[in-house]
Chain A
Amino acid sequence: MSNERILKTTRQGKPGQGAGDRNLDWYIDKAVQVLVLIAGISAIVFIIGIFTFITKEGISFIFESSYRISAYTIGTLEEKEFPEELLEELEILEGETYVDAAELIIAMEETIGKEATDQYKGLIIEHSVHEPFKVMDFFFSTRWKPTSEWKPTYGAFALIIGTASVTGLAMIVAIPFSLGAAIYIGEFATGKTREALKVLVEMLAAIPSVVWGFIGLSIMNPLIIKAFDVPIGLNVLNAGVILGLMAAPIMATIAEDALKAVPDRYREAAEAMGATRWQVIFKVVLPAAKKGLLAAILLGLGRGFGETMAVLMATGHAINLPTSIFDSVRALTATIAAELGETAVGSDHYRALFTLGIFLFVVTFVINLTADLVVRGVKKG
């Protein structure tokens, strides 16, 4: 029996006798291959899926004109062709305000059913105020008033500036911090100190963002009020420092990898020529690792840009164009997180938030892609 087995296995893959025999291992091998393939391509599927979803929800806000019907236009409906009995049925809707036609239609569907609503859809849209999307307004107006009864506006400029100012300050904090840490861990620390530091830095990277937000809210806030004698401690400074400290560990880890990738013979060569430790680092190691370091900074930037919870908690969440680091601001991500749950699906507000999402997605995508291309450059050089 066992001899037969051995024979079979030795024949595997050869033409002729026994070549068609498939044992369990063959099936396991195939199954694992398929599983691994699925896992491998899932990243692509997810990226495409997320992008399609966000685009689908948000793009209509950009390209389709939006139809708004306010309390004022409901009155108009009443005067016009709307049948009496329908208006009676719609009585419960009276006194309510609908930000746009989509919202009214949803409410009508709930009251009088889908079929009846469909009859009047055209009529509602005909009577609603027609407002095309204005790119200039969206990106360059500071008026973000999505819940206004009379005229909701969607100007994201203050939000974009809010995110940019916080991320910018975060990078000012994080770059020296993380590069310093990476240089110390990679070039100076030895043995146990080095291992301990690496583990600690990685642990620091794993701290949940809500904890950082909590620190911003309850520790940094009073600290800033006291130290700088300002009325509010939830501002650009607070969020920038918190975000910088959050991004630094990841940046330090990647930067340290970049330093480690510099071959030791470069250091040896420079030292043998009489370079001091600092000269070796500044004139040889950092220039050799500059692409990897840039990638680290870009990835940190992407992380800062997309961070939500900590900035929601530490910025003060006030729509405001900051004139100093002591002003409260509001970030793009935090706006989406705070408002999306409160909007009606398909409404203008809902779609405007998705448009912000597209913007965020595009920016982070570009940052990450740049970082990736830079890293590829490292491998080549």
Chain B
Amino acid sequence: MSEVSTATTGKYSIESEKLNLWYGSFQALFDVDLRIKKGIITSMIGPSGCGKSTYLRSVNRINERLGYVKITGSIKVMGQNVYAEDAELVQVRKQIGMVFQRPNPLPLSIRDNIIFGHRLHTPKSEKVSVKKEDELIENSLKQVLLWDKVKDNLKRKATELSLEEQQKLCIARLLPVKPAVILMDEPCSALDPKGTAAVEELIWELRDNYTILIVTHNMAQARRASEECIFMLMGKVVEHAPTDEMFVNPEHEETADYIEGRYG
């Protein structure tokens, strides 16, 4: 699948068409058409309940866990419709990493956490040497600037780290699988300002190699840490523009009102 996607990769990593979503009988998304550019950071803003998290969670189909979600329309990730009947969920999620609001390292050692995804996606027949694994772990942890801190006790339980370190670890564990897209659902909302700054910096570092879609409640964060910005309201996309433009010169009145803090 990855060969196919590289062949058909265009300018966009995520393209959704007429995406409608219902939680039971409540419609949360209305005809959402979005094209998210490859290799940049796009942020999604909007008041609570506007559907930005819902959209994010539809991209890797993690919404389906709830069991009462109905979806129409399509989302293409790297050219492949993830809602197509022949789409393999495991492969879809291999391409799409996700970082959650609350850091959620697994209750395993740091080492096992980092290599978890890689082990899942390595066929049983294929033996990965310990040395190769160590290399992957070292590279991932170095990329998130955590290596120096944890290199001496990789056997330590990941849940014992500080929240900031846990969130960095949650980003690091996506890297060995080499996803094309990383989804982030308010990744800094559980962190203190120092942790937020550190994680933001890290996200900024990652932007060349991955397409990053980040949902945030924090407008200042969207402004300083993203290149394009999407404003959503009541399940619909109101505006999608380069961040600088949107914050300086918003096209719609709702956007302007929200950015200026008149509601939300």
A residues contacting B by CB (< 8 A) are 190, 263, 265-276, 279, 283-284, 287-288, 381
Taking CB as reference atom, which chain B residue is nearest A289?
Answer: B107
Lowest 6 A-B CB distances belong to which pairs? A274-B93, A265-B104, A273-B117, A272-B98, A269-B104, A288-B107
Tell me which of B17-25, B59-67, B74-82, B205-213 binds A. Answer: B59-67
Check if A269 sits within 8 Å of B107, measured CB to CB: no
State whether the Cβ of B150 lies closer than 8 Å to any Cβ in chain A. no
Q: Known contacts A190-B67, A271-B65, A273-B173; is A284 also within 8 Å of B106 by CB?
A: yes
State whether the Cβ of B128 lies closer than 8 Å to any Cβ in chain A. no
Give the shortest distance, in Å, between A192 (CB) and chain B (any CB).
13
State whether the Cβ of B11 lies closer than 8 Å to any Cβ in chain A. no
B90-119 interface with A by 8 A CB criterion: 90-94, 97-98, 100, 102, 104-108, 116-117
Give the shortest distance, in Å, between A232 (CB) and chain B (any CB).
47
Check if B116 sits within 8 Å of A270, measured CB to CB: yes
Q: Known contacts A190-B67, A265-B100, A283-B116; is A272 also within 8 Å of B60 by CB?
A: yes
Extra contacts besides A268-B104, A271-B62, A271-B93 (18): CB < 8 Å: A265-B100, A266-B106, A269-B100, A269-B105, A269-B170, A270-B116, A272-B60, A272-B93, A273-B93, A273-B116, A273-B117, A273-B120, A273-B174, A274-B93, A279-B120, A283-B116, A284-B107, A381-B107
Assembled-state Cα–Cα distance A271/B104 (Å): 12
Check if B106 sits within 8 Å of A276, measured CB to CB: no
State whether the Cβ of B188 lies closer than 8 Å to any Cβ in chain A. no
State whether the Cβ of B177 lies closer than 8 Å to any Cβ in chain A. yes
Residue among A274, A283, A288 facing the most chain B CB atoms (10 A cut-off):
A274
Check if B108 sits within 8 Å of A287, measured CB to CB: yes
Chain A residues in 8 Å Cβ range of B93: 271-274
Give the shortest distance, in Å, between A259 (CB) and chain B (any CB).
13
State whether the Cβ of B252 lies closer than 8 Å to any Cβ in chain A. no
Chain B residues in 8 Å Cβ range of A266: 104, 106-107
Chain B residues in 8 Å Cβ range of A274: 89-94, 117, 120-121, 177
Check if A268 sits within 8 Å of B108, measured CB to CB: no
B163-198 interface with A by 8 A CB criterion: 170, 173-174, 177
Q: Count contacts between A and B, CB distance < 8 Å.
A: 59
A-B contact pairs, 29 of them (CB 8 A): A190-B67, A263-B104, A266-B104, A266-B106, A266-B107, A267-B65, A268-B65, A268-B104, A269-B104, A269-B105, A269-B106, A269-B170, A270-B106, A271-B62, A271-B93, A272-B62, A272-B97, A272-B98, A272-B100, A273-B120, A273-B177, A274-B94, A274-B121, A274-B177, A279-B120, A284-B106, A284-B107, A284-B108, A288-B107
B45-78 interface with A by 8 A CB criterion: 60, 62, 65, 67
Give the shortest distance, in Å, between A166 (CB) and chain B (any CB).
36
Assembled-state Cα–Cα distance A267/B98 (Å): 13
Chain A residues in 8 Å Cβ range of B107: 266, 284, 287-288, 381
Chain B residues in 8 Å Cβ range of A276: 90
Give the shortest distance, in Å, between A168 (CB) and chain B (any CB).
31
Taking CB as reference atom, which chain A residue is nearest B101?
Answer: A265
Give the shortest distance, in Å, between B29 (CB) and chain A (any CB).
19
Residue among B89, B100, B102, B104 facing the most chain A CB atoms (10 A cut-off):
B104
Assembled-state Cα–Cα distance A255/B148 (Å): 39
Give the shortest distance, in Å, between A267 (CB) and chain B (any CB).
8
Taking CB as reference atom, which chain B residue is nearest A288?
Answer: B107
Assembled-state Cα–Cα distance A130/B213 (Å): 88
Chain B residues in 8 Å Cβ range of A275: 120
Assembled-state Cα–Cα distance A229/B252 (Å): 86
Residue among B93, B108, B116, B174 facing the most chain A CB atoms (10 A cut-off):
B116
Assembled-state Cα–Cα distance A266/B177 (Å): 18
Chain B residues in 8 Å Cβ range of A271: 62, 65, 93
Chain B residues in 8 Å Cβ range of A190: 67
Assembled-state Cα–Cα distance A276/B121 (Å): 11
Assembled-state Cα–Cα distance A381/B159 (Å): 9
Chain A residues in 8 Å Cβ range of B120: 273-275, 279
